[in-house]
């Protein structure tokens, strides 16, 4: 961190957000500290929320155009983000392509990050690719599995879209089951209804997801990615 600090915007401190009183050798907050902290928070959001979804908000399009019943359920979840994550409760959004599932799920991740809860966001195909790469070093794999098991919120986008092999099914089961046993939250988006998902990833995994995430929130309708041409 230090060494490349941006200068204090008020020219008071050394850029650290603290001033040191030489006489008593004590630190106190500089006037720039609140904005320094806000910038840090923004950076950590930026690091994890994909650019396309970075500015999602309940009072903004496209959320304002999505089925209110589903948006309300997501809003309630984010309002109690801490107790929900503490209880290992999750959510899942099911439906047709381009109906706002990922957009809504990002609101949950954003709330978790803003509440300073550890959060990992992966699309399922990408997660499998990352796992495959991590396998090449045992340390890398253990680190990744540990992270997947222990983050306060694991957001898996596009479950069911991964190319299935026995290895992939085993990984998905093991990630879900570990979090199930430790009561840690999962947020999922998928194009598959639970019965289709069972065929895709197995009944044992889906059964755990149902218990953790409750009934899927349905988002059906036409693909809004296409709507600008209609």
Q: Which residues bind ligand ATP (CB under 6 A)?
A: 62, 65-66, 97-103, 158, 189, 191, 224-225
Which is closer to Mg ion, CB of 102 or CB of 185?
102
Residues 92, 149: Cα–Cα separation, whole Å: 18
| Least distance (Å) between residue 32 CB and Mg ion | 39
| Least distance (Å) between residue 177 CB and ligand ATP | 25
For 137, the token pair is: 């070093």
Contacts of 115 (CB under 8 A, 6+ apart): 81, 82, 85
Which is closer to ligand ATP, CB of 15 or CB of 98?
98
Contacts of 141 (CB under 8 A, 6+ apart): 131, 134, 135
Residues 50, 52: Cα–Cα separation, whole Å: 6
Which is closer to Mg ion, CB of 84 or CB of 190?
190
Answer for which of 19, 84, 99, 102 binds Mg ion (CB under 5 A) is: 102
| Least distance (Å) between residue 97 CB and ligand ATP | 3
Residues 197, 106: Cα–Cα separation, whole Å: 22
| Least distance (Å) between residue 149 CB and ligand ATP | 25
């Amino acid at each position: 961190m230090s060494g490349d600090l941006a200068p204090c915007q008020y020219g008071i401190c050394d850029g650290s957000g603290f001033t040191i009183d030489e006489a008593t050798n004590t630190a106190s907050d500089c006037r720039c500290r609140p904005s320094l902290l806000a910038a840090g928070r923004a950076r950590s959001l930026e690091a994890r929320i994909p650019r396309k979804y970075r500015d999602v908000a309940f009072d903004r399009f496209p959320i304002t155009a999505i089925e209110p019943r589903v948006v309300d359920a997501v809003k309630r979840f984010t309002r109690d983000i801490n107790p929900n994550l503490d209880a290992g409760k999750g959510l899942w959004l099911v439906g047709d392509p381009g109906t706002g599932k990922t957009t809504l799920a990002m609101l949950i991740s954003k709330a978790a990050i803003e509440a300073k809860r550890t959060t990992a966001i992966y699309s399922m195909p990408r997660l499998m690719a990352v796992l495959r790469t991590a396998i090449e070093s045992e340390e890398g794999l253990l680190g990744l599995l540990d992270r997947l098991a222990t983050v306060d919120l694991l957001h898996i986008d596009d479950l069911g879209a991964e190319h299935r092999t026995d290895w992939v099914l085993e990984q998905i089961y093991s990630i879900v089951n570990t979090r199930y046993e430790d009561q840690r939250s999962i947020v999922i988006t998928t194009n598959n209804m639970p019965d289709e998902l069972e065929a895709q990833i197995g009944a044992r995994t889906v059964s755990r997801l149902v218990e953790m995430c409750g009934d899927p929130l349905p988002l059906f309708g036409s693909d809004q990615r296409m709507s600008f041409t209609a």
